Structures are given as C-alpha cells and as structure tokens.
Structure 1
C-alpha cells in the first residue's frame, strides 16, 4: 500500500520535478559506481603476473630513486633487466646490488645521457634490445629544477635539458621499444609523471618541469587509447613528494616503497603511506569525473 501511495504521489508531481529527480538520481548513481570502481582498482584488485608481458624489462633512470626500486622489484619477479643510465659506475653498482639479492638475475646495461647525445644513445638501446622479448618499459628518467625559480630566472640551458630529458628522451625510448610489443601483441609501458602536473592545479616556480610532466600524462593517455586494442597496457604514475635526489628532500615517501606499490598494484604488498599517494592523486579525478587508473599492473 505504501508503495502504491508513493507511486501515486509521484504521478501528481510536475514533469519538471520528475525530470530533475531522475537526473539527480542518475548523477549520484554514476558517481557511486565510479567511486566503487576506483576503490576496487586502487585497493582490492590483485596484481597481475607481469612476467606474462614478456621476459625482459627496460628501465630508464635505473640507478637512483624510483627507477632503482622498480628494477629491484622486477628482478625479484624473474624478469631480465635492461638498465639505462648515464653513469657507467652507477650502472655497475646497481647491477651488482641486484645480483646480490637475485644471483640469477639477467642484466644488461645501456649508456644514455638524456641531456646529451640522444641519437647515439637511442641507437645503442635499439641494438641492445634487438631480438629480446621486452614486455615492460619503465620510462623513469627525468630531471627537475635545482631549486625553485621564477620562470624569467630559469636559464636557457636548464629549459633545454628539462625538455630534452623529460619529453624528448621518454618519447624516443618509447618509439624504439614499442614496435616489438606491437609485433608480439603484448606489453606494458609505465611512464613516471608527477603530481605537479595532475594532482595540483598549478606548480608555480617549477613551471617548465610541471609542463613537461603534463606532456607525460597526456602522452600516456593517448598511447593507452591507441594501443589498448593491441594487447599493450599504458600507465602513468603520478607520485607526489618522494625522497629522491631529484626532489632534494630526505623524508616523506621513500622510493623503495613507491616502487613496491607500483609493481604490486594491490593491497597485499603496498602499505598505508603508498595509498596516500593513490588517494591524493585520484581525488581531483573523482571530482572532475576524469579517468585516472590505467590497467597496467
């Protein structure tokens, strides 16, 4: 009886009230479903068997910070590593450290100075991965300002290096590695962006850095759409403050925990501090209804 009375009451309402109520209900339903999906992807969904992408992974910027941490995680999961960096000594050190933890680790190294001669470096990478089953590419190499500066105070050399390392280098490495993934119809590309370009509305005093990371984010979104039908997943991670040399901070979030979270994509391994990154980075996307998660891990 109560249901019938309720339906009768609804029929008596003006059409415009019914229309507004319907729109409101659908909006709330959409937001609720989106929130539940985000919670599942970020906190509940188990990680994938990343070895299924291929037997080798290319990691740029592998000698320090997040890149080094990811390299350790990938080696621990049985993948061969192609470590890319500009310092031969650091590449030897990180290779030795990985082998100490994983004596059977397969490791190749490639010298690329992303602020230097990219043509020669990219040619070395192309030769090194020829015939390899490269299933994962981690574009981690990057640089920032030495300290905060107004844009008119930033020298031309720093602007050139920021664009060359953060934009041109990542683009050209992807262009070399991607064809093999397309041929094998499987692969994953992980680009390390920044919360400076996605989470916060602007990053004053780091304008060029934030702009280059906005390129990384948009580049990742476009590749995700282009190649999702070809068996290739593309993901852009947008960490906030991490205690690395580039960030010039010593304590907030540590690269080993961020690397572990990136490679796990599930709650079994990642801890609370890593989840704060996910929550903060996802909040603006939830508010504006934008896609955030990339189905990579």
Structure 2
C-alpha cells in the first residue's frame, strides 16, 4: 500500500473553507483558528478526494439513496431506519440495503436481528450481512469483537470507515440504500454528504419526538440540510401519543408544548410525513430483532409506518421517474 502524501486533515472543512486546492489554503481569514490551518498551509494544493469519483461509480448501481437523520439521540431514528427497510423489502422485487454509520453507537445489528454476525470479504469487496435475500445490512457493529466494545475513534478514522463502507462494500444492484446516521451534525454527516455529493442523494428523512427539547435540535438538523444542499423528504414525529389498546383513547406521553412537529414543519416549510404513536411492542420487536410491521400488522403505529413509507416511495419515484418506469 502506498504511503499517504502528507498529514491527513483533522476533519471535513467548513463551508467557508477556501479548499486545499486553493492558493489561499491555510492563509484565508476563514482559516484562522481552524485545526487544519497548519496542515493546509504546509501541504500545498492536493485537489479533490479521489474516493468521491470511485464512490460515484460504485453508487451507479444504487437507484435511491436515503439518509435518516435526527438532531437528538433517543428519538427512534434507528428504529425508523430498520422499519423503513423492512417495509420496502416486503416487495420482493426490490433490493434494499441499510448502511449504519452510527460508528460509536451501532444499534442496527441488534434491531435487525443480526447481532454477532461477521462481515466476510470476497474478491469484489465486503459482503453485506443479509436479513432476507433482498435486505442487506452493513455496520461497524459487525467488526467488533463484542456488542459491548466501545468504538473510541477520532473524526478522521470515522471518516475513513464511512468511505470504506461506500467504496468497498459489494452492494450489488440496489433499489433503496438507507443510511442510518448518528444524532447531530458532525463528522459522520459531513462525510456521508461529501462522499455521496456526486452520486445524487434523493434526500433526508428527519426524525423527532413532539417535545420542544427534541424539536430544538431538529431545527438545527434542517438548517444543516439546507446549508449542504441536501433535499429534505420530510419529518417523522415518533412517540406521537399513546393509543390504549383496550379503550382506544389517546394520551400524550410527550406533550407537544410548542405544537410538535406539525407546527415546526409549517413554520419551516418542510413536509410532515406522518406521526407514529407509541406502541410498547415496537421496543419488544426491536430487542428481539424482528419486524414490528409483520408482527403487529393492525397496530395504529404499523398503519402510520406504512403511510409514511408510501410517501417516501412516492417522493423517490417523482425524483427519478425514468428509473421507476424501467423496472
């Protein structure tokens, strides 16, 4: 393996960065205080990351690329990613893949019933781990010796792992690639947007809960999407009330003190894809690694999931109508 040319950047450059290929690299006003300033000023122009073009070629076999985002942890983002994948994969003519880039908290292997599985390498790259013949998964969780192992990595190593997942995994022909991201707007988010920049991301689904403490961070997530020019498919409100299975009355477990996701979406001019009510069976299904959609098909939460999934499919088909018509 050839040695790397010069020291690596500490993180993905901010929007105001002149870029490493610029004559102003490390010298511009925006460079002041940046941890990469010394690296940029000493290394000279290096041009764009060649991995972006390699990933673009790899992603030509993937029709639709969806990011699932949340501003705050614990709002059910990975749960939604898993059930979006299960719902799409119910159509056996569609090939679905889930990429878990929550490097420090990979929960997708547990939720998808794949805990303890290992990644295998072939001549064409890493092979995903399959839930069904048409539903493959890749996660750093498959690379750990134990589910309890901590991943203690700085930004550059996380970025390298994401690059490797996109470039070196043998995804094959895929209809939907769902990328489950960690909370926030940090290294992993900048990396996935940067590496897929030339590969036409369909858009992002943003997950929240009704209370203001979650919505506050989701507003930042929406702002992030707009700054990096990532289309927003819409917002999903998780844990949106509890419907009693006996009396059918609805209770607000997390009261929407500021109007919930609906009011936020209206003020920010973002689509609200739907509201998923609380159902204790969702957590049980995730812990067991099963699909809640198939275990409790008549739950109000299942019906809500299906309506949201249909809206996401409609968005994708309108985004790439020629691909849908050719299938």
What is the TM-score of this pair, normalised by structure 2? 0.39
Q: From the CA coordinates, give the structure whose radius of gyration is larger.
A: 1
Q: Going by fraction, where is helix more abundant, 1 or 2?
A: 1
What is the TM-score of this pair, normalised by structure 1? 0.42
Q: Going by fraction, where is strand more abundant, 1 or 2?
A: 2
